[in-house]
């Protein structure tokens, strides 16, 4: 295997890594508050303002399109100009996005908000990954990435409770306006916090960033990310419809069934991610993918909500350990001068898969039956786990 390039001088003395990680996790907690409730109520809001099924689909495609287009360019910029300005710009972008949601009353306004959200997401999450890789040493990256994911899920869970509480107390449009107005203010607070507390964690050594060293392991990771992103996205457009029919459940019932899984990530992902630092990246990734594949086969046969809650909890337990391991492996395989572009390519591969997957899932659902996307997802995840188990070789980390 081709060895990764030497680490940049910026990595040898990360500025106050503990306080920097706390700064970004607190900011991410605040901007994640709207994520859960937005997932549940955006289609409902679309119906309220008269959007048809195609337009509601565009609400989701607009976001994905922006992330696919922007993330590679953002990755290049991170390696050329540093991290701090892009993280703060992403937070400000989320503040403007939530303000636009609060004022939206037509399809065009929602599409604009989703395009803005895709831009903010491209700026913020790539930068957060790059900062985390900068400040965490090779033997602590799994736990650090787990902590970032844990902060995001904790914010999402809390924001969902607040959102449903407000929606049950006020009229829909009034609750929507107050809710997203408050979220905009909190995103702005996160930007002010980062502007005050966040140092620059990377100073480019070269005026022109060095090219990424393409090893077989790096290419394998991108391929698996693309394929598994597509397979998971096959289920996304149809799972709520399928479960509502299968279990005779409402959206609120399904939200309660998802709560144990969300709490696992919100409370334990940092500790589960740290296992990748002790046991290695590969075991967590392979085990997580394999178990997620097995649970995908089981979902179509469920008959009770409590069974669904258990399966979702098991799935998220696997992902809570596997995802930080995968994110840490990106940093292990690439040098410090390349990480912005590396995470840009990694995120683009995932988003490309998520763009292709829903179309394939809808086709399988209509042509081969409701169970077909779940079976296909399970097979792809198991084959990907086998591929990683046989071919992936982790770079050696210093003791």
Q: What is the pLDDT of residues 327-371, one digit of tens each?
A: 889 888 887 677 888 888 898 888 888 777 777 877 888 788 888
Is 5 strand, coil or helix? coil
How much of the chain exceeds pLDDT 70, in percent? 90
Domain membership flag for residue 174 = yes
35 lies in the same domain as 160: yes
Asked whether residue 383 carries a pLDDT value surpassing 90, the answer given is yes
Mean pLDDT of 191-200: 92
Identify the pLDDT of residue 8: 43
170 lies in the same domain as 263: no
304 lies in the same domain as 265: yes
Which of 39-48, 151-160, 201-210 comes out lowest in average pLDDT?
A: 201-210
Report yes or no: 298 and 311 within 8 Å, Cβ to Cβ: yes
270 lies in the same domain as 190: no
Identify the pLDDT of residue 209: 59
pTM above 0.95, yes or no: no
225 lies in the same domain as 188: no
Structure tokens at 315: 């799935």
178 lies in the same domain as 267: no
User: DSSP of 313-371, one letter per residue?
Assistant: HHHHHHHHHHHHHHHHHHHHHS-GGGHHHHHHHHHHHHHHHHHHHHHHHHHHHHHH-TT
What end-to-end distance do the CA atoms of the chain give, in Å? Answer: 20
Closest CA to 220 of 108, 326, 366: 326
Domain membership flag for residue 6 = no
Q: What is the pLDDT of residues 238-294, one digit of tens each?
A: 676 778 788 888 767 877 888 888 888 888 888 888 888 888 889 999 999 999 999
Identify the pLDDT of residue 94: 96
How much of the chain exceeds pLDDT 90, in percent? 34
Q: Which of 138, 172, 200 is the last residue of a domain?
A: 200
Question: What's the total number of domains in the chain?
Answer: 2
194 lies in the same domain as 225: no
Start-end of H helices in the chain: 17-31, 35-48, 53-81, 84-103, 107-135, 141-169, 172-197, 216-235, 239-247, 251-279, 281-298, 305-333, 339-368, 372-391
Mean pLDDT of the chain: 84
Asked whether residue 374 carries a pLDDT value surpassing 70, the answer given is yes
Domain membership flag for residue 261 = yes
Domain membership flag for residue 263 = yes
294 lies in the same domain as 184: no
Domain membership flag for residue 153 = yes
Closest CA to 163 of 35, 59, 313: 35
Q: Which of 200, 230, 257 is the last residue of a domain?
A: 200
Domain membership flag for residue 80 = yes
303 lies in the same domain as 366: yes
Report yes or no: 116 and 96 within 8 Å, Cβ to Cβ: yes
Closest CA to 146 of 243, 53, 267: 267
CATH code: domain of residue 176: 1.20.1250.20
Segments forming the whole domain that contains residue 113: 17-200
224 lies in the same domain as 165: no
Asked whether residue 115 carries a pLDDT value surpassing 60, the answer given is yes
Domain membership flag for residue 209 = no
Domain membership flag for residue 2 = no
Q: What is the pLDDT of residues 129-166, one digit of tens each?
A: 999 988 888 778 888 899 999 999 999 989 988 888 88
324 lies in the same domain as 360: yes
192 lies in the same domain as 226: no
């Amino acid at each position: 295997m081709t060895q990764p390039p030497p680490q940049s001088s910026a990595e040898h003395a990360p500025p106050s890594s503990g306080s920097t990680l706390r700064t970004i996790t607190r900011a991410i907690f605040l901007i994640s508050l709207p994520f859960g409730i937005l997932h549940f109520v955006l289609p409902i809001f679309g119906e309220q303002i008269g959007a048809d099924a195609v337009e509601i689909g565009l609400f989701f495609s607009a976001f994905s399109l922006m992330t696919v287009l922007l993330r590679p360019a953002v990755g290049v910029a991170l390696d050329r100009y540093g991290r701090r300005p892009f993280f703060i710009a992403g937070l400000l972008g989320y503040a403007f996005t939530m303000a636009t949601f609060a004022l939206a009353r037509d399809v065009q306004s929602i599409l604009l908000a989703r395009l803005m959200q895709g831009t903010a997401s491209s700026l913020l999450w790539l930068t957060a990954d790059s900062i985390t890789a900068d400040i965490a040493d090779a033997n602590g990256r799994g736990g650090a990435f787990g902590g970032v994911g844990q902060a995001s899920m904790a914010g999402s869970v809390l924001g969902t409770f607040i959102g449903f509480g407000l929606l049950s107390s006020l009229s829909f449009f009034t609750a929507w306006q107050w809710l997203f107005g408050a979220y905009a203010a909190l995103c702005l607070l996160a930007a002010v916090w980062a502007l005050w507390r966040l140092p620059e964690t990377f100073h480019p050594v070269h005026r022109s960033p060095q090219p990424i060293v393409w090893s077989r392991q790096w290419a394998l990771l991108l391929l698996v990310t693309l394929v598994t992103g597509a397979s998971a996205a096959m289920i996304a457009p149809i799972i709520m419809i399928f479960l509502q029919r299968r279990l005779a459940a409402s959206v609120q019932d399904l939200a309660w069934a998802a709560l144990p899984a969300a709490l696992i990530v919100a409370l334990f992902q940092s500790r589960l991610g740290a296992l990748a630092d002790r046991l290695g990246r590969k075991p967590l990734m392979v085990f997580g993918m394999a178990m997620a594949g097995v649970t995908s086969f089981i979902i179509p046969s469920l008959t009770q909500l409590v069974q669904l809650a258990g399966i979702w909890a098991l799935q998220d337990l696997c992902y809570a350990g596997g995802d930080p391991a995968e994110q840490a492996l990106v940093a292990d395989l690439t040098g410090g001068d390349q990480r912005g572009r590396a995470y840009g390519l990694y995120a683009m591969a995932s988003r490309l898969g998520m763009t292709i997957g829903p179309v394939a899932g809808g086709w399988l659902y209509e042509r081969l039956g409701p169970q077909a996307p779940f079976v296909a997802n399970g097979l792809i995840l198991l084959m990907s786990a086998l591929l990683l188990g046989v071919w992936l070789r982790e770079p050696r980390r210093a003791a």
